[in-house]
Every structure is written in structure tokens, then in C-alpha cells.
Amino acid sequence: MGAWAELLRVSALFTVPGDALAGAAALGVAPNRGTALALGSSLCLYEAGMALNDWADRDEDAIDRPHRPIPSGRIAPRSALTAAVVLTGAGLTLSAAAGRRPLALATALAATVWSYDLHLKHTRGGPAAMAAARSLDVLLGAAATGTAASSGRPSATGTAARAASVTGTAATGLAARARSVVATPARNGSGVGRAMRGTGATTVPTTRAALPGAVVMGAHTYAVTSVSRHEAHGGSTLVPLTALAATLGLGALGIREQRTSPGSPPARLLVTALAGAYVRTAAKPFLHAALNPSPPLTQRAVGGGIRAMIPLQAALAARAGGGASALALMGLVPLARKLARKVSPT
């Protein structure tokens, strides 16, 4: 069990739930059955990528990391590959249960993960592929949540048609108000929810509402992946320094946007605190790696960047009105830190 926990890097699993919750919050919809299915799919695909990663790198690890589960003989290569295939199938099955759009996004996510592990990792496109995978994961959570929220409700067209049988003018006004709510998501989730209930709208904001959060998670992932390419040998000062600049920029962006949003003071304070926690978690190890680009400090920088995803996801959820989801995510931080002492996330 210890070897499998190391192969699958279970301490990094805590960075996965926030993608689905941030995606759900961006729609202004409370987590539902679709969110749970997306979360399960994400966990399976994430672990599939971990198993496939070590299978693909088994020859390289035999030289640079002979202590890893496969080169040390604790796990057979065929077992790792089988686990990757089974977990990928499980992830796609869960996403299919959430709907066609979530399945399409999960399929794209799985293809990106497999492409990265088998080829792109050792090319210049590696960081971009990992960034795309994380962004797709956020969109998967949003799509699954939106699909579940819309299922079982009459369509907006059907509602307008029935209303038109009573009075054409009233139907036109209702449809216009519903479209305005869907086309223009509010800054916070509670506002979207109130607007929808007030108009009697039967749809939820589209997955596009989660695009800004997906881009932010992708940008952070790009920075961390760029640093991880040097964790075995170290030697790079510019890369962790660039990652540090990206961290400070993303944190400042979140705080600036929140200060200009119409949310309540407690909500703005929460987002500011979460953005600060994100910067604090990632910036310090990035700075240390820039000052001393040795393999141990570079590996710590990668671990810090991975753990920083949790407060970043929490900040995105809180900014969209998902304060409860944000606080729940922050409850994972001490667990992730404790488990990382036993099982490295890198």
C-alpha cells in the first residue's frame, strides 16, 4: 500500500476537489450530483496520470530516482500501466454519467494527460499541456454542475411557449429577463441564484462563466510544471524566479478584482485572505529555489506550488460567491501538509 501511495502521489490528491468546486461556484450553483461526478472523474484521471507518468519514466527513474516504486521493484511496470488504463476508464464512466458535455471535456482531459505523459512532457509543450489539463478540469466541474442543475427542468423555450399561450407580451418580457440573467453572470454566486429565482429562469449560466478561473488555474499550473522540469538536476534560477513573478501577479490580480467587486465586506476580506495564503504558500519556496537552484530546494518549490493550488481554488470559489466551498477546501490544507511529510507530492 505504501508503494502504491507513493506511485499515485496521494498527498497531491487534495489539489483536485477544488477544480470542480471552483467551476461550480463560477456558475453560481451549489455543488450537486454533477459536481460529485466531476470530482470523482477528476480524481480517477489525475491518478491515472500519476501511474502512467511513472510507467513512462521507468527507465529515466532507474537512473535519477532509483527509489521510486517501479525502478525499485516494488510495483511491476505492467501493474502501473493497468492501473492507468483502469482509472482512465473509471474517470470517463463517471463523467458520462454526468452528461455528454462533461464526457467530452473529460475525454479531452484524458487525451491531454496521456499525451503529456507519453510524449509532451519532454518537449517545450509540456507545461502548456499540463496547464490545459488543469483548465479542462475546472471546466469539467462547471459543465457537470450546470448539466445536473438544468436536468429535470423545463427548457426556457418551453416556458416561453406556455407563457405565450396566456399573453404574448408577458412571455416576451419573461424570456428577455431570463436571457439577460444567463448571458450576464453576476460577480457572486448568491446574486446569480437570486436573479434566477426572481425571474423563474429554468437554465443556469453556461460553462463560459468558469473560463476566467480555468485560465488562472492553468497559468499557475504552467509555472509549477516549468519548475518541475528541473527538480531532478536543479540548476535553473530564471524558471523559479519567473514562477515567483507569476504567483505574485495572480495573487495581486485576485485581490484587485475583489476590491472592485460589489460583494459584501466579509466576502471581499475572505478572498483577500485566501489570495494571501496562496501567495504565501507558493512564493517562499519559489524564492528559495531561485536563490539556490539545488535539486532539494527545486523539489520543495514544486511541492509548495502544488499545495498552493488549494488556497488558489478556494479564492476563486469565494470570489464567485462560494464561501462555504472555499472554507471546506481550506480544511484540506493541514491534511495535505501532513500527508506530504509521508508521501511526496512530486
Residues in the chain with pLDDT values less than 50: 154-202
The 3-state DSSP class for residue 272 equals: helix
CATH of 2-153+203-340 given 3.20.20.100, 3.30.70.2190, 3.40.1710.10, 1.10.357.140: 1.10.357.140
SS (H, E, C) 304-345: HHHHCHHHHHHHHHHHCCCHHHHHHHHCCHHHHHHHHCCCCC
Residue 205 DSSP one-character state: -
Closest listed residue to residue 213, CA positions, set 205, 286, 149, 108? 205
> What is the reported pLDDT for 263?
64
Write the DSSP string, 183-220.
HS--SSHHHHHHHHHHHT------GGGGHHHHHHHHHH
Q: Which stretches within 65-125 are classed as H helix? A: 77-98, 100-118
230-276: pLDDT as tens digits: 887 878 899 999 999 999 999 988 777 655 555 678 888 999 999 99
The 3-state DSSP class for residue 84 equals: helix
193-206: pLDDT as tens digits: 333 333 334 455 68
